[in-house]
Every structure is written in structure tokens, then in C-alpha cells.
Chains A and B, each alone.
Chain A
Amino acid sequence: MKDLVGIKELSKGDIELILNTASSFKDILKRDIKKVPALRGKTVVNLFFEPSTRTKTSFELAEKRMSTDVLNFSVPTSSVVKGESLFDTVKTIEAYGVDFIVIRHSSSGVPHFIARNVNASVINAGDGINEHPTQALLDAFSIIEKKGSLSGLKVAIVGDILHSRVAKSDIFLLSKFGANIRLIGPPTLIPDIADRNVEVFYEMDNGLEDADVIMMLRIQIERQGRGFFPSTLEYFRNWGLDMRRLKLARKDAIVMHPGPMNRGIEISSDVADSSQSIILEQVTNGLAVRMAVMYLLSGRNEDA
């Protein structure tokens, strides 16, 4: 495999290999010396056409832990503002001799387009409303760490599913592994998804009943005012996760969030900081998963 553009393109076996490898990398993160020489001499460029703090930081740290040389290329400082086409930007970067391109773009499909046009390995760090595969992989890793497996788990995904690439990747992944997925949110923010593993709930209380995992999504406040929901206050009243609602799920249910959180809009502070929340563990696991992905892509069989 040359690239990681989406979960859709991966087989169950591919995903299992990534998650198993990530568990070895997680051990490395507990050592005194957290850096391994595996990708010494390789160069990575982080090409972010959309603002990002945590995903970019996580990728950058994972890249450094693998001993790669890291180049950061973000829009406001680049020649994209001077009118260079995406194709030319990428070709220019490739001429530097980079081995990996980590890309985030506001348009869906950009990583796929780039992957077809360069020899470097392309890793999708989020494209439009399409996919965010490393987030789904770290979510799966975090769930398996707590619950043992994904098969048969009741996983509630709550919020703006329509605009969320995280949700799309999570749904693809969870469905491949036979989890029961419940999408919860206002009708305006839930797309039509034809998948026999997916159920839709507009009433949050019904959707949370007996859930093993609750994945909260960030409400994209920047989309406020386009009529998807009346106000953030009303949103919290209907689809925010507070302690009362958390109790509707199983006693040992875990609460996840891809960050950044809007406390008081989609999740209350006491839930975010509760013992059932694994939000900070997700951050640590993200490093291990991203290291594993880079390692596996670099070890690819050229004949395959």
C-alpha cells in the first residue's frame, strides 16, 4: 500500500495490521527515549490547506518520533495565495524529494488526486466532508483498548454527522468490524447513510440507551447561522451530553471526542472530565497510530 487516503479503501486485514502495529508503538511512547530511528533520512511535508492545531501537532510529533525530517507548509504563508495551482504546489514539493505528504484540504478528494500524481506516500489528514482516516483508526484503537473488540458494540455517534469527516471514517471502520452504529442529532445534520449497521435517532435519550461507546462530535460553530439548528443553547438542551444522559448508557460506557471540545455546547464539563471520558487517551493513541501508519507505508512492497 502506498497511501492512506480513506478507511473506505482499506480491508479489515489492513486495519488490523495498523492497529496491532500501533500497540507496539504505544509501548515506545512509554520509554525514556521515545524516538526510534526507523524512518531516518526520510522527509515528510505537512501540507495543511485548512487550519489545524491538534492533528498537525500530532502528526508532527509522530514524524519526529520516527526520526523523519519535517517540513511544514501551510496556506497563509505559501505561494498558494499567489495563485499557484494545487497540482503545481504538489509537484514542486515532490521535486524536493519528499517521501511522505500529509495533507489536509477543505475539498473532498484532494488527497486521492495527489496520491495519483506523486510517488511519495500520501496520508489524508482530513479532506472536506469526506474522511479523516487516522482519527477513525485512533478511535478504533482506543475503543479496542477499553472494550477488547468492536464487534457487536453499541456505538452512539452524536452531533453534526453531515459535515463531519471524522464521523464518516468512523462509520466506515465500525461497520467493517460489525459494530452497531447509532447516529444521533438534529434531522438537518444527519445524512442518508444506507448501511445495515446504522440506525438513526433524533431523540438523544433513546439513542443513548445501553450504549457501550459515546462519540461526541464537535459542533462546528462556524456553520452556525446557516439554519442547521436554532442556537447553541437549544442544541445543548437537545443533543448535548450531560451527566443525566450519560447515565442512560451502560455503566461502563466510554465517552470520546475528537477535539477541540466546545464545553457547554456539545458536552458538559463534568462529563468531559469524568472517569468515563477517554478524550486525553485518544490524543496519546493518535501518536501511536500515526507512527504505525508511516512505518507501514514506508515498508511497502514495491511490487504489490
Chain B
Amino acid sequence: MIKELLNKKDIERILSRIAHEIIEKNKGTENLCLVGIQRGGVHLAKRLAVKIKDIENADIMVGSLDISLYRDDIGIRKEQPVVRKTEMPCDITDKKVVLVDDVLFTGRSIRSAMDALMDFGRPAQIQLAVLIDRGHRELPIRADYVGKNIPTSRTESIEVQLEEEGLEDKVVLQAKE
């Protein structure tokens, strides 16, 4: 069973709201840097940067982070691990870093991402923005900016499909048979 949770318009509105929230919470864009988690988070971070520029007329740095080398399940997962690019366009030391991911689930990816970030410097602050929070946390981690809270069961899967991957923008919930 597949259920559409968000369409293109919904995603667009959510990102506009989160862009405003980021600016509001940080009182502008000074010292701000967005870091997307590969892969979905990278696309979302880039979109947020465009929106923030539209609002504040300020360029904001966007980095991408691959967390596969910092995961806690290497050798447990079934699929062959793919290591993607990590690119930090600036020194993150003393910056306010907003981590961006598509789905917040157990919190383990975010734990890995924070470890990876620390290897690049000592940020003044790390904040977290996610498009979907589906619950089931296994670590004490929460998001500062949430697109939509969606209660799920553990067996369901959430898929964020984005134009950057050659798909139509939408978020779908899939129940496992």
C-alpha cells in the first residue's frame, strides 16, 4: 500500500517556512552554514539556501556530508556500502551549522553526522532541520526545525522523492506487506 503524504506544493511551503524559522532563530544569517546529509539532505539544504537568499539577500554556504564511514552498523547492513562525497566549503569552527536531512527516524544517522562534523572543526552550535520526523528515536536527539511530524509504524517506510534525483517531488508512505 502506498500513500502520498506530501506533494510538490506541500514540500515547497514547508521549505519556505523552515527557511524563515532558521533566519528567525539565528537572528539573520551571520555565521550560518547549511550542511546536507547525503543524499536527500544535500538537495534540501541547497533549496533552503536559495530560499534564505531570496528572503535575506545573503549568500549562505552549503556543505554535503557523507556519513557512511561514521555509521554504527557497518557489516550488519545487507547492502554494499557506497561512500559518497563530503564537501565542506568553509571552516565550520565557530559557525552555526544547520544539519539538513530528509527523514528523522532512529537518530543514528544524526549521531554519525555530528561525529563526522566534529572531525572538520568545532562548530559554535549544531542545529537540525528535517523534512519528516517519523518518530521511533533510539537516541536522545531532536530536531530544531521539523517539516511534518508523521506517526509511523516501524515496518512502514517513508520515501522522499526529489526532482534532483529525476523524480517528481513528493513524500510517500509505504506499508510492508
Q: Judge whether A37 is part of the interface by a CB distance below 8 angstroms.
A: yes
The chain B residue sitting closest to A299, CB to CB, is B81
A24 to B71, CA, bound (A): 16
Cα–Cα, bound, A295→B82 (Å): 10
Contacts of A24 in B (CB 8 A): 66, 83-86
- From DSSP, what is the main secondary structure of chain B's interface residues? loop
Binds A, one of B2-10, B29-37, B72-80, B145-153: B72-80
A277 at the interface (CB under 8 A from B): no
Q: Mark A15-31, 1 if CB is under 8 A from B, else 0.
A: 00100010011011001
Pairs across A and B, CB under 8 Å, 14 listed: A17-B80, A21-B82, A25-B83, A27-B85, A27-B86, A31-B120, A33-B119, A38-B70, A38-B74, A295-B74, A296-B81, A300-B75, A301-B78, A301-B79
Please, how many angstroms separate the alpha-carbon atoms of A301 and B77 in the complex?
7
A298 CB contacts on chain B under 8 angstroms: 74-75
B82 touches A37 (CB 8 A): no
A: number of interface residues (CB 8 Å):
21
Q: Mark A284-304, 1 if CB is under 8 A from B, else 0.
A: 000000001001101111010
Interface size class of B (residues with CB under 8 A): 20 to 34
Write the residues of chain A forming the contact surface with B, with a CB cutoff of 8 angstroms. Answer: 17, 21, 24-25, 27-28, 31-33, 36-39, 292, 295-296, 298-301, 303
Q: Could you tell me the distance between the alpha carbons of A301 and B74 in the complex, rounded to whole angstroms?
A: 10
| Closest-CB distance, B128 to chain A (whole angstroms) | 21
B12 in contact (CB, < 8 A): no
> Which residues from chain B contact A300 at a C-beta distance below 8 Å?
75, 80
- By a CB distance below 8 angstroms, the chain B residues around A31 are 119-120
Which residues of B sit under 8 angstroms from A38, Cβ to Cβ? Answer: 68-71, 74
B115 within 8 A of A: yes
When chains A and B are docked, how far (Å) is the Cα of A17 from the Cα of B80? 10
Bound: A299/B81 CA distance, A = 6
